[in-house]
């Protein structure tokens, strides 16, 4: 199918993923202009090999690359496009808003409306501050935790990614509680040393970290459902234990729901698991595909933020009208009866078909799923933390990725990322994806 005739209900074309001359040419140009030829590292295909596709357009659940090939898409701009690509109501809202101006450097009514909607939907949020990215949100939440407690150290979990702020880019060590060392050049060891990394889903390790450092720990930040080592859910009772430990030691509990917010449940992961965090970081879905982030939480903490309080944080384009408009349409659509339920059910359908295929082929790989996020792990052991995920056969995943791409299915170009379903995916998409997966698994595992 040609790139200018999108049909979100069609199956993948037989020649998808082949003949990528225009993408190759663009990538060659890009590498002379941008580090690695990309503006975000995972787009470079380093995790799977080969050159990245350059995308010309998207509609519904499908993408078209610059060479005219069509793909069923399970990246969705890495999560934000929960309604699908180019949703007509989102696009109309952006156009309508842009006609009145793209940015004012002053408050606008849309900021108030989106703040009201976020507070209505997220149980742990009583006040919210809009920012421009998930990294800004987590960075600001850490600063706020330190401001509220007068402490310096933060606990994070090995394999959890919270953006590229210095104090979170650390190499996780082994043992119950390891002080981080820099995981990237340019991060001072003294900054990284304020972060304590412990294994996810390990209560004893967290308890040990607090026994050793409790009086110095300002907060604990975690993805309640991990999405940055692939989808890894919390073990039963784990989040409850984290909440109890942080409360006992007077540390703030920060849920990074940049990825999980409005995707694993309409009211976010904190509602799914019944946990009341002190601070919540949001992004992706709340911008409807435009750059956005937010952090919020209990009023007593958020009133520490300037200009209400002494903790300074600012942003020239924070609360940008275009992002606010897109986010409002997206969240309002998700609130409509049956929309989120249908999204979750369609994800269930695909994951069930993948698991059936694995059983038929006698493959003991793992499929983890929560809500509208899922990952096929190429390992024979259940994945509960980074050590489990690290046993995956990344080379085989890379072969599977390219085999799926050849069959017109666009998966995440890394074993250690989450795939995303959208409300635009159809039963035909799911069936075509399942057929492609069966063929691809036979090809790479036969």
Cα distance between residue 140 and residue 294, in whole Å:
9
Q: What is the CATH number of the domain that holds 29?
A: 3.90.1150.10
pLDDT at 7 over 60: no
176 lies in the same domain as 216: yes
State the average pLDDT for the chain: 92
pLDDT confidence of residue 390: 92
Q: Which residue has the higher pLDDT, 44 or 136?
A: 136
Question: Tokens in use for 290?
Answer: 């435009």
Q: Catalytic site residue 284?
A: yes
Stretch 254-281: mean pLDDT: 98
Q: How far is CA 346 from CA 88, 308, 351, 431, in A?
A: 21, 44, 9, 11
Q: What is the CATH number of the domain that holds 243?
A: 3.40.640.10
The catalytic position among 153, 284, 298, 406 is: 284
pLDDT at 442 over 80: yes
Domain termination residue (choose one: 299, 315, 335): 335
Stretch 169-179: mean pLDDT: 39
pLDDT at 179 over 50: no
pLDDT confidence of residue 185: 74
- Write the Ramachandran bin of 120: left for phi over 0, alpha for psi from -120 to 50, otherwise beta: alpha
Q: List the 55-59 sheet strands across, edge first.
A: 55-59, 62-65, 70-73, 409-410
pLDDT confidence of residue 190: 81
pLDDT at 17 over 90: no
Stretch 175-189: mean pLDDT: 55
Stretch 229-248: mean pLDDT: 97
Cα angle value 292/116/422 (rounded, 5°): 50
Contacts of 28 (CB under 8 A, 6+ apart): 37
Instruction: Check if the beta carbon of residue 144 is closer than 8 Å to that of residue 305.
Output: yes
pLDDT confidence of residue 166: 72
Domain termination residue (choose one: 292, 314, 335): 335
165 lies in the same domain as 216: yes
312 lies in the same domain as 421: no
Stretch 263-273: mean pLDDT: 98
pLDDT at 178 over 60: no
Instruction: Check if the beta carbon of residue 196 is closer than 8 Å to that of residue 178.
Output: yes
Q: Catalytic site residue 161?
A: yes
CA dihedral 281, 55, 22, 426 (to 10 degrees): 130
Domain termination residue (choose one: 314, 335, 356): 335
CB burial of residue 379 (10 Å; 0-12, 13-18, 19+)? buried
Instruction: Check if the beta carbon of residue 166 is closer than 8 Å to that of residue 125.
Output: no
325 lies in the same domain as 179: yes
Query: Model-level pTM?
Result: 0.92
pLDDT confidence of residue 108: 95
pLDDT category at 186 given cuts 50, 70, 90 is: confident
pLDDT confidence of residue 175: 30
194 lies in the same domain as 295: yes
> Does residue 311 fall inside a structural domain?
yes
Q: What is the pLDDT of residues 91-100, one digit of tens each?
A: 999 999 999 9
The catalytic position among 161, 238, 249, 295 is: 161
pLDDT confidence of residue 18: 65
pLDDT confidence of residue 11: 42
Domain range for residue 296?
A: 88-335
The catalytic position among 65, 67, 256, 278 is: 256
263 lies in the same domain as 207: yes
229 lies in the same domain as 322: yes
> Does residue 182 fall inside a structural domain?
yes
Residue 170: its H or E element? strand 170-171
Q: What is the pLDDT of residues 335-382, one digit of tens each?
A: 999 999 999 999 999 999 999 999 999 999 999 999 999 999 999 999
49 lies in the same domain as 95: no
pLDDT category at 167 given cuts 50, 70, 90 is: confident
pLDDT confidence of residue 61: 98
């Amino acid at each position: 199918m040609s790139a200018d005739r999108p049909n979100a209900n069609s199956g993948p074309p037989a020649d998808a993923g082949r003949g990528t001359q225009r993408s190759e040419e663009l990538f060659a140009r890009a590498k002379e202009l941008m580090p690695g030829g990309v503006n975000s590292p995972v787009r470079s295909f380093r995790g799977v090999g080969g050159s990245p596709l350059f995308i010309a357009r998207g509609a519904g659940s499908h993408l078209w690359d610059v060479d005219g090939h069509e793909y069923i898409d399970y990246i969705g701009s890495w999560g934000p496009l929960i309604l699908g690509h180019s949703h007509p109501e989102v696009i109309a809202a952006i156009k309508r808003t842009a006609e009145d101006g793209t940015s004012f450097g002053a408050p606008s009514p849309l900021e108030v409306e989106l703040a009201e909607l976020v507070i209505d939907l997220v149980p742990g949020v009583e006040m919210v501050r809009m920012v421009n990215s998930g990294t800004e949100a987590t960075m600001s939440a850490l600063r706020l935790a330190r401001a509220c407690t007068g402490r310096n150290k933060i606990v994070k979990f090995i394999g959890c990614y919270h953006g590229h702020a210095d104090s979170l880019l650390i190499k996780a060590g082994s043992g119950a509680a390891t002080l981080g060392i820099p995981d990237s050049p340019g991060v001072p060891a003294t900054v990284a040393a304020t972060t304590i990394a412990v294994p996810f889903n390990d209560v004893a390790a967290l308890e040990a970290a607090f026994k050793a450092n409790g009086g110095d720990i300002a907060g604990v930040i975690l993805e309640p459902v991990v999405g940055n080592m692939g989808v890894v859910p919390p073990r039963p009772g784990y989040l409850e234990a984290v909440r109890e430990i942080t409360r006992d030691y007077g540390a703030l509990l920060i849920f990074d729901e940049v990825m999980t917010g409005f995707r694993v449940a309409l009211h976010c992961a904190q509602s799914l698991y019944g946990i009341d965090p002190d601070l919540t970081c949001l992004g992706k879905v709340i911008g409807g595909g435009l750059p956005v982030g937010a952090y919020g939480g209990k009023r007593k903490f958020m009133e520490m933020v300037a200009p209400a309080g002494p903790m300074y944080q600012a942003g020239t384009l924070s609360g940008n009208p275009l992002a606010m408009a897109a986010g409002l349409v997206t969240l309002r659509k998700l609130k409509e009866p049956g929309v989120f339920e249908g999204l979750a059910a369609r994800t269930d359908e695909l994951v069930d078909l993948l698991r059936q295929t694995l059983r038929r082929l006698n493959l003991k790989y793992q499929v983890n799923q929560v809500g509208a996020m899922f990952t096929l792990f190429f390992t024979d052991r259940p994945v509960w933390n980074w050590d489990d995920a690290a046993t995956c056969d990344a080379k085989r995943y890379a072969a599977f990725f390219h085999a799926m791409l050849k069959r017109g299915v666009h998966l995440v170009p890394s074993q250690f990322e989450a795939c995303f379903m959208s409300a635009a995916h159809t039963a035909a998409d799911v069936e075509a994806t399942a057929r492609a997966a069966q063929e691809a698994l036979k090809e790479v595992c036969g």
